[in-house]
Chain A
């Protein structure tokens, strides 16, 4: 028993980044750098219609006039945007049938704990697996189609449902919204597309798994979720990358459109390679995520567990346009070693009686910097609106930093906004209590951190929550003492 317990402890507390392997597959690259040719190349590779190419070229022109934002509390080394591959796709083996996935890739995803075989799948989660710039397999597409649900890779959706994609793309994150989203507009490769028709409750969780594999490439995926009137879907997102000494760029866009009475839960466990203890390597995670609650009584909930990435720049937001719509944001962000995170949420209240909640728990250890940055804006017409924000930060070392930058703008006389935040270190008393009862300090910290983050973790779907809890411990490994 003790033996077993020790093994578990060992696994939990001393494991390094375990998804750092590289799959050796032949990869096809676009020419290095960013230019009109590269954009045309990507568009041609994906056999895209003219309007999408125009969308990309317009974004490229706009992006070339923009400068990288520097307002975040991040120390970002200069990025040479011309030294990247914007498109990298695993080559299909010749002997394989057109629908079959390369066994190497199946193996890769198996090692990541993602099964692409529907029959073996027990947990009832449909997966769209994306490696570098292409989606390799979407499971359960057919059975979902029976309910009218469209769940497929973005490129496939452009071909099969161009009218849907064209109608909704760029609605929540308009073209040219910010530096990184505009870059994505120009060069986005694959991602997932999901449409839930009127009144349909999606019977299983949908998920996208993103994997960066190729060296020297960036990943620029785009996810678009449309929930029509009265529908419901729970969406999960996971991500990992190999362990490398150079940095890799990930600039994704997630757009969610909600019609009347629709509800979407979007959960992310972000576990990109965070770099080593000296800060070498790791992913730059510069992501734009925004939901548009267009219809009345719609509800969007973001839950995120951020443990990976060298640098995170991410502010999932809700534009609460419909009356009585609800936005929620639950986040646990853990930074260790040399990681930096500037993350938070934006709640833009436009409709009457809209409500939003922000619960953010930051945990910083090592030499990391962890910032919460959030905006709550109540427009003049958003009468009777309500926001509650709570942002707590926990400091685990005297060399890290924890920062809180809330922005609150209110422009009417019937709304109520409340914001509170605390920053402190782990309570000595709690640690002492655990240690008295024979729990070593590292495990005790794990317990306390899990308790501290509990309010957010319990918002995650079950299987995700277990993984997230484990991840928290792994990320904080070696941060005590």
Chain B
């Protein structure tokens, strides 16, 4: 399939009165936007060095309703630390699609929310203007089938993290568009865990768009675990808006996946807002892992921190694209970007673009980026002490990754991911098609 074919299929698929007629107008406008923009190419600055062009080599199918649901519970965190919601084949798998939880918290399917809370959802959908919408966002708007919806009212603290599991369908060349919304009113707090999996060896593309509104003094934590097959592609676009003194913590680990691209666009709109991004990408074989983070400091006194780590093995490719934009009035900004990478073979490639764009003078902004290998001296030291070379390497790689893992504050999740990272580094963690529940059974140490 080519870019032209992809655009032609978009037109062919489009049914204004079909899926969710409530948003028919928005969808039509989004489709027109997508067609006008045309598909992204690696000639475009934002997509340079990325694997985006491969995405257009396929003949896609939109999800059908009669697909087999994923067995619930397979990916849940050990110890039932969370409330889980499953999405597969572009739909929620639950008898009760929209749940009213404690103190007015609403959680569940976007589809159901659109029926039950039409005003709120319509407003949210229309909020980000079309004129700023990128290609994949517009495609998502035109074709999304469902998504996760969370509303946390003023000063309510969500008792348990919610786990949102999205399994990419088992049918060939799937294109699944999920649109997730999270609204945290003033002083609200919530933690989410997004897990992305795939259930077969077929190629498919998950194109998710996530909008997060974080009200004044609200606190939001987002964990993301991605473990897909080497055939699958998964794009996430996160749009965060943050009001005064709000806090955001975003934590991503990419274990496996043919093409994982995470984009985060952060608008710091209220004074004193703070955001932190932490990411670990473990790419091997022919996998490609990409992170794109754009933080816009629009008002004074905001802080942002980014730490992204990559281990790139075999003939895999890693790409980090960070962009801190400080607007003219955003004085007293503090921004920090860090990207460190280990390239393990001569066929692996790593590209790093930590950008700073600054229009205010009273700021402290810095970034650092490094690409290197395991410390030979540390390896030698360990071998001297009788640790086998293989184990010494694993220990060093694990230590490199541990900074990221240790920042997880849900203990069962931390233990589980810690285990998964160890297994992944040993080459024992398969992507999900071979999953036999092993990821939720902590059982061994590295040595």
Q: Which residues from chain A sit less than 8 Å from chain B, CB to CB? A: 71, 73, 378, 380, 383, 393, 395-425
Contact = CB atoms under 8 A, between A and B. Distances in A.
12 contacts: A380-B347, A406-B355, A407-B351, A408-B371, A410-B343, A414-B373, A416-B370, A417-B372, A418-B368, A419-B352, A422-B365, A424-B365
Contacts of A402: 356, 358
Given A403-B357, A413-B348, A425-B363, 11 more contacts: A378-B371, A395-B358, A395-B363, A404-B357, A406-B354, A407-B353, A411-B349, A413-B345, A417-B370, A419-B368, A422-B364
A413 B342 CA distance: 8
Contacts of A397: 361
Most chain A C-beta atoms within 10 Å of own C-beta, residue among B349, B359, B371, B373: B371
B35 interface: no
Contact of A416 (B328, B353, B362, B373): B373
Nearest to A410: B371
Interface of B: 45, 49, 328, 331, 341, 343-373
A383 B343 CA distance: 12
A398 B49 CA distance: 34
A403 B358 contact: yes
Nearest to B360: A398
A396 B370 CA distance: 29
B344 A423 contact: no
A378 B343 CA distance: 12
B45 A71 contact: yes
A409 B49 contact: yes
A416 B357 contact: no
Q: Is the interface of B mostly helix, strand, loop or mixed?
A: strand
B365 A409 contact: no
B357 A398 contact: no
A401 B358 contact: yes
Nearest to B370: A418
A393 B363 CA distance: 11
A405 B372 CA distance: 20
Contacts of B347: 380
Contacts of B360: 395, 398
A425 B356 contact: no
A73 B357 CA distance: 10
Given A412-B346, A419-B354, A404 B367 contact: yes
A73 B359 CA distance: 13
Contacts of A378: 371
B353 A406 contact: yes
A47 B345 CA distance: 55
A398 B331 contact: yes
Given A398-B362, A399-B328, A421-B366, A404 B351 contact: no
Contacts of A401: 357-359
Contacts of A404: 354-357, 367
Contact of A412 (B45, B328, B343, B369): B343
B371 A383 contact: no
A406 B364 CA distance: 18
Nearest to A405: B355
Contacts of A412: 343, 346
A421 B370 contact: no
B356 A408 contact: no
Contacts of B349: 409-411
A420 B363 contact: no
A408 B353 CA distance: 6
Contacts of A398: 328, 331, 360-362
A416 B372 contact: yes
Nearest to B359: A401
A421 B356 CA distance: 9
Contact of B363 (A71, A411, A421, A424): A424
B354 A425 contact: no
Nearest to A426: B361
Contacts of A408: 350-353, 369, 371
Contact of A380 (B346, B352, B366): B346
Contacts of A403: 355-358
Contacts of A416: 370-373
Contacts of B351: 407-410
A251 to B, nearest CB: 23
A251 B270 CA distance: 45
A423 B372 contact: no
Contacts of B362: 398, 425
B308 to A, nearest CB: 13
Contacts of B353: 405-408
Contacts of B367: 404, 419-421
Contacts of B358: 393, 395, 401-403, 423
In the A-B complex, the 9 residue pairs with the closest CB atoms: A395-B361, A408-B352, A404-B356, A423-B365, A417-B371, A422-B366, A410-B371, A419-B369, A416-B372
A402 B349 CA distance: 29
Contacts of B372: 415-418
Given A404-B356, A409-B49, A413-B344, A420 B361 contact: no
Q: Find the residue from A402, A405, A410 having the highest chain B CB count within 10 A.
A: A410
A80 B427 CA distance: 60
Nearest to B340: A418
Contacts of A405: 353, 355, 357
Contact of A423 (B331, B363, B370): B363
Given A398-B361, A421-B367, A410 B355 contact: no
Given A401-B357, A409-B349, A420 B366 contact: yes
A55 B371 CA distance: 41
Nearest to B368: A420
B22 to A, nearest CB: 41
A121 to B, nearest CB: 44
Contacts of B359: 400-401
Contacts of B348: 411, 413
Given A404-B356, A407-B353, A408-B351, A423 B343 contact: no
A411 B370 CA distance: 13
B135 to A, nearest CB: 19
A413 B343 contact: yes
A403 B365 CA distance: 10
A417 to B, nearest CB: 4
Contacts of B365: 422-424
A213 to B, nearest CB: 37
Nearest to B341: A410
A403 B355 CA distance: 7
B281 to A, nearest CB: 15
Nearest to A428: B362
A427 to B, nearest CB: 11
Nearest to A400: B361
Given A403-B355, A416-B371, A419-B370, A396 B350 contact: no
Nearest to B349: A411
Nearest to B313: A413
A381 to B, nearest CB: 9
A398 B360 CA distance: 5
Q: Which of A380, A400, A412, A413 has the most CB of B within 10 A?
A: A413
A408 B350 CA distance: 8
Contacts of A406: 352-355, 369
Contacts of B345: 413
